[in-house]
Amino acid sequence: MAKLSKVAIYLLLFVFFVNTVSAPDTVEGPQTPISPGDSLPTIPGSGGEGPGTPIDANTNWETVDLSGMTSDQIYIYFDSIPDWRFDELNQQKLAKALKKKYNIQELDINVGDENNNAEFEQDSFYFSNLDYLNVQQTIINNGVNVKYKQGNLTAEHADSVIKDGSITTNVEDLNAGSQTFFLGKADSLMSDSITLRDLKNATVKVKQQDIQISFDGDYEINITDKSFAHTSFNATEGSSLVITKTIPAYYNLSNGSLSFSGIEGPYGAFTETVQTATNASVYLNPSLGFICAFLMPLSTYAFYSFEDTRRDFAISIPQNSSQFKVCTRKDWVEKHDNNCNQCAIIDFVSKKIEMHGFVSYLRHHIKGSSVVSSSLQLFHISLPNASASFTLDAGFIFIPQLRISYTQQHPEISRTFASRYHTLYERQVNNSMHRFLKTNFQLPLSEMSDNLVYTYTTNYSDFDTTIRDNVVSQKAGSKVTVLPPNHPLIKKYLP
């Protein structure tokens, strides 16, 4: 591999690739670098100038053919080109030579630095520094260690890269092919009013209708979509994300999580997150947040309140379920159809949550005004052919009424963890549905939590179950009451 250092080195390519005259099979000439004071080398077969013509100001570079020379021979000839040869005209000739040699249809170049180093091989060329390079509409500005090889363009660094209608800034470890480009690191990528920030180890494909990114590592990027909604995506190894260039934007994600934070939600500041180990898609309003999410199994929609963590909840799709649609209503003008088999409507305006199909609802355990669980816990699960309707209080925390419905009998249609102490089941026995209560007698008193649901009903029974202070009561002919440990009435009846 021959190394060139000077402006002249780049002219090497001008001459190198202009093929008007055939080069001889054997090139005679000096085989060691030229030292100051040595006579200029000569160019064999320089079209009309005759063999042995010296390189000087009168050399006709358009007719020189060096394609038969070795890299060492090319180095000798071009190392002798004086600096006065390095001008705009020769930059154009360099581009012309590169295009011809490497069969590139579109190429423009500005070397800029006279102390540059260059290498030219049979199928590649390299520059240690470039002010500007445009190869097949992939543009590098202020590139370091730039190499082109068989349609692939790499750079250790570039101040900016323009490709496929996008501009990427402060790029490290670029590897650009004809369809995609890899970014080891980049401050930002912008395309059609979409901005991605803090990219790392990402492979990008920019299309007319969307931006597609795949990730190799665990980190977070920040996004501003075409409707100026601000989101963040937490990637893991193998994650992918597609953002459409529409208003509103659709986000299709795989093996990662997408988050939106708002400051003017129905209960003040909040964050919404869709996390998936499979696939999910989301579209959103730049002010209100997520409008609807389409979740495949092993995906979760979560709402986190900055004002009161007791309000936090999540809707999770079990592994054996199917695609599930979750929509939110945060403004009275929004409307959603809840007549579906696999869907949930979270209505912050009317203080209701409707869930239909195989799905889980998660909440914190609460005691007084505090959260006593470190993470969201399973509160309710509906199985196929079942529905759950939650009526919430004004704070969207407690559930004055929960109603369970089913359209087809099943061995078990739902399970509700009313508190850490009580669990209510709906099960089939002898071809009819029945309500069961399970109590956790081994739970220490210090771990007791408040019941979130107050009244529990079903569409197959006229009898309601009420829960107050973990006291469960139901009147069905005769009244049945279940008391929690250390309740005062226990001592009254069982001294």
pLDDT digits (tens, 9 = 90+) for 188-197: 999 999 999 9
Adjacent-strand bridge partners of 107: 135
Flag whether pLDDT at 242 surpasses 90.
Answer: yes
User: How far is CA 24 from each of CA 28, 40, 69, 472, 484, rounded to the nearest angstrom?
Assistant: 9, 20, 9, 101, 102
Task: For 435-485, write each residue's pLDDT tens digit.
Answer: 899 999 888 888 999 999 999 999 888 889 999 999 999 887 657 778 777
Q: What is the pLDDT of residue 88?
A: 65
More confident residue, 176 or 492: 176
CA–CA distance, 175 with 125 (Å, rounded to integer): 15
Secondary structure (3-state) at 76: helix
Q: Which of 17-21, 71-75, 325-329 has the highest mean pLDDT?
A: 325-329
CA–CA distance, 52 with 55 (Å, rounded to integer): 9
* Amino acid at residue number 63: T
Token reading at 269:
């500041």
Q: Residue 375 burial by CB count (10 A; 0-12/13-18/19+): exposed, middle or buried?
A: exposed
Q: What is the pLDDT of residue 115?
A: 63
- The pLDDT confidence band at residue 48, using thresholds 50, 70 and 90, is very low
Q: What is the pLDDT of residue 211?
A: 97
Adjacent-strand bridge partners of 211: 206, 243
Are 144 and 157 in contact by the 8 Å Cβ rule? The answer is yes
Region for 284 from its dihedrals, namely left if φ exceeds 0, alpha if ψ lies in -120 to 50, beta otherwise? beta
Q: What is the pLDDT of residue 334?
A: 84
Residue with tokens 């543009």: 139
More confident residue, 475 or 344: 344
CA–CA distance, 111 with 92 (Å, rounded to integer): 11
Element (H, E) at 370: strand 370-371
Spatial neighbors of 234 by CB under 8 A, at least 6 apart, are 218, 219, 220, 256, 257, 258, 259
Secondary structure (3-state) at 101: helix
Least confident of 82-91, 264-273, 340-349, 464-473: 82-91
Token reading at 217:
């590592």
Q: What is the pLDDT of residue 58?
A: 53
Are 180 and 204 in contact by the 8 Å Cβ rule? The answer is yes
CA 46 to chain CA centroid, nearest Å: 56
Task: For 133-157, write each residue's pLDDT tens digit.
Answer: 999 889 999 999 999 999 999 999 9
ω into residue 484 within 30 of 0, thus cis?
Answer: no
Could you tell me what percent of the chain has a pLDDT over 90?
Answer: 55
Adjacent-strand bridge partners of 425: 415, 436
CA–CA distance, 172 with 174 (Å, rounded to integer): 6
CA–CA distance, 169 with 370 (Å, rounded to integer): 46
More confident residue, 351 or 334: 351
Picking from 488, 489, 481, 448, the residue whose alpha carbon sits closest to that of residue 465 is: 481
CA–CA distance, 152 with 124 (Å, rounded to integer): 9
Q: What is the pLDDT of residue 312?
A: 97
Helix %, strand %, coil % of the chain (to 5): 10, 50, 40
Are 343 and 327 in contact by the 8 Å Cβ rule? The answer is yes
Q: Where are the beta strands (DSSP E) in 407-448?
A: 412-416, 422-429, 432-439
Flag whether pLDDT at 271 surpasses 80.
Answer: yes
Q: What is the pLDDT of residue 263?
A: 81
Q: What is the pLDDT of residue 475?
A: 80
Picking from 27, 106, 128, the residue whose alpha carbon sits closest to that of residue 71 is: 27
In this structure, the dihedral spanned by the alpha carbons of residues 420, 426, 427 and 430, taken in order and rounded to 10 degrees, is 140
Task: For 60-103, write each residue's pLDDT tens digit.
Answer: 544 555 455 444 554 454 444 444 345 566 677 777 778 887 88
CA 425 to chain CA centroid, nearest Å: 40
More confident residue, 14 or 99: 99
DSSP 150: T
- The pLDDT confidence band at residue 427, using thresholds 50, 70 and 90, is confident
Query: Per residue in 82-119, is it b (16+ CB within 10 Å) or e — as a string?
Result: eeebbeeebbebbbbbbbbbbeeeebebbbbeeebebb
First to last CA, the chain: 97
Are 178 and 202 in contact by the 8 Å Cβ rule? The answer is no
Q: What is the pLDDT of residue 429?
A: 85
CA–CA distance, 137 with 208 (Å, rounded to integer): 15
CA 85 to chain CA centroid, nearest Å: 48
Token reading at 201:
């180890």
